[in-house]
Chain A
């Protein structure tokens, strides 16, 4: 890992970190997904949308990791 600018104390602060809020909050908003219809490949909304949140989680953590490394 690269060290920070010389003379500047290291930190883990970055505006990119705010992106992490998205996958934390989305899965907790039950009104988004608490329904049977529309179904996708036979899966009720409740199940396929929550599984889709995994993709959001992976995308945001990967992006934040890349941008702050």
Chain B
């Protein structure tokens, strides 16, 4: 413990500074009052390019990403690098889609993706399905941020759950008070720290280890020595399809997560979003470098922390930092990861709370809810969500959260036809969309159930790489389960739509007009909303 005192002091000091900022954030860009979801849940819908860049970047590239991606590269090599093509593909993919989502949401005052679906397809049931899917996918993600904090605490020799309970209690308090303004302000610090730490790491550590050449050679030697055929510093014939479907499927899923949209809807106009689609890849570059920390750990001979006889590969990066950096800088690095967990956890809990408020509370419990009532319910639910996340980690095996997050990625993809395709076409019948969602969900769960993980002896839910031999093909090739599930979803949605149309089953009303999808700041419709908000 004493060996880590410097690290711990730096960590705690930075953590406290950031917590202070979280409380002060309520007064940042001073709203007249915070008592509406436009203010508490979307920061006044007024963020410019810089704030949006930090906020969305801080939200998408989470602490868990920073520990789990290099851990995956450490254990399986090239396959773990899928995170890079994933985050290259995503921005051009959603460039036009998000601008449309922004416009239609501003004209109609939507706060969640389910709000949009409700209006577009005129179906409270479909909206409820989308909202619940979003909640289920987001919850384990919040719990995983705790796993990120725990990984750095373990590397500092701290075990036990009290520190993460305290950290989350502070987080819950300032999110309650400041809403989305808190993570927006903290994101500046978090991302600056991360950039400094990673740039230092990729310059300093390779110099210590004899250069990049020897790092990659050490990794190659390690993977050549393992009996596993599918690891290595390049892909194999069997896992290439998995690599690209996982990258592409994850890219399709990313902005379907409610918390990603929260950051997008908080921006002040369409150009802010488009400009960010070209600026956010700076984080992808960072993520690529972070992934390579996994190889550095191999070259440095880093051993993960072992608790109760189980090696926790998530600790690989924190332990590497401890090994390579001077104590004070390791402390800064740990703080970067720890604070890195707070930003996405805050945004995710706000997004989950907004889903509950808008699509369950207002839809089913209090139809005439005022702005102030909505804000109050969201604030309370954001607390409940965080308590739930802490309980998940305290009472259940963290592996359970990891499994759930894996499932979350597959099920959030099933909202794509309603949310993303819905921005382009009203062709689908609401019944067809619900049928497609159900079929995709069932197919996805079935596939995940069949995937074992030989590395840790799990029989089911052992990963996302579905073996095509399960479908009768004579091959060792694997494919991302979510991708295949989405294909099932789309086929069923199309067939379902044709059947419902042929049977003349009534479809919902579309409350949106074509022009709504291109509206921008300064338009009469959009201005109305601003007046109803804070100004």
Interface assignment of B522: CB less than 8 Å from any CB of chain A = yes
Q: Which partner residue on chain A sits nearest B279 by CB separation?
A: A58
What's the Cα separation between A41 and B211 when bound, in Å? Answer: 9
Q: Which partner residue on chain B sits nearest A26 by CB separation?
A: B88
Name A1-46 residues within 8 Å CB distance of B.
1, 9-12, 17, 20-24, 27-28, 30, 34-36, 39, 41-44, 46
Q: Which partner residue on chain A sits nearest B245 by CB separation?
A: A28
Q: Which partner residue on chain B sits nearest A28 by CB separation?
A: B244
User: Once the chains bind, are B92 and A61 in contact (CB under 8 Å)?
Assistant: yes
Q: Mark B224-238, 1 if CB is under 8 A from A, else 0.
A: 000000000111000
Q: Mark B449-483, 1 if CB is under 8 A from A, else 0.
A: 00000000000000000000000000000000000
Name the one of B81, B240, B288, B520 contacting A54, with C-beta atoms under 8 angstroms.
B288
What's the Cα separation between A35 and B96 when bound, in Å? Answer: 33
What's the Cα separation between A54 and B85 when bound, in Å? Answer: 8
Using A17-B96, A36-B234, A64-B95 as known contacts, say yes or no to A27 and B88 having CB atoms under 8 A apart: yes
What's the Cα separation between A10 and B89 when bound, in Å? Answer: 27
Q: Which partner residue on chain A sits nearest B251 by CB separation?
A: A24
User: Once the chains bind, are A53 and B88 in contact (CB under 8 Å)?
Assistant: yes
Q: Which of A11, A21, A23, A56 has the most CB of B within 10 A?
A: A23
Size bin of chain B's contact surface: 35 or more
User: Once the chains bind, are A61 and B278 in contact (CB under 8 Å)?
Assistant: yes
What's the Cα separation between A21 and B96 when bound, in Å? Answer: 12
Q: Mark A40-69, 1 if CB is under 8 A from B, else 0.
A: 011110110011011011101110110001
What's the Cα separation between A43 and B518 when bound, in Å? Answer: 44
Name the one of A23, A64, A69 contacting B89, with C-beta atoms under 8 angstroms.
A23
Q: Closest CB of chain A to B501's CB: distance in Å? A: 27
Q: Which partner residue on chain B sits nearest A35 by CB separation?
A: B234
Chain B residue numbers with a CB within 8 Å of A53 are 85, 88
Q: Closest CB of chain A to B249's CB: distance in Å? A: 11
Chain A residue numbers with a CB within 8 Å of B99 are 12
Interface assignment of B212: CB less than 8 Å from any CB of chain A = yes
Stretch of B111-119, B138-146, B182-190, B267-275 lying at the A interface: B267-275
Chain A residue numbers with a CB within 8 Å of B274 are 61, 65, 69
Using A23-B88, A57-B88, A61-B278 as known contacts, say yes or no to A9 and B514 having CB atoms under 8 A apart: yes
Chain B residue numbers with a CB within 8 Å of A22 are 92
Name the one of B95, B288, B515 contacting A9, with C-beta atoms under 8 angstroms.
B515
16 examples of A-B residue contacts, CB within 8 angstroms: A1-B521, A20-B95, A20-B96, A27-B247, A30-B243, A35-B234, A42-B211, A42-B216, A51-B84, A54-B88, A57-B91, A57-B92, A60-B92, A61-B274, A61-B278, A65-B277
In the complex, besides A30-B240, A46-B81, 6 extra interface pairs with C-beta distance below 8 angstroms are A12-B100, A20-B93, A23-B91, A24-B93, A27-B84, A61-B92
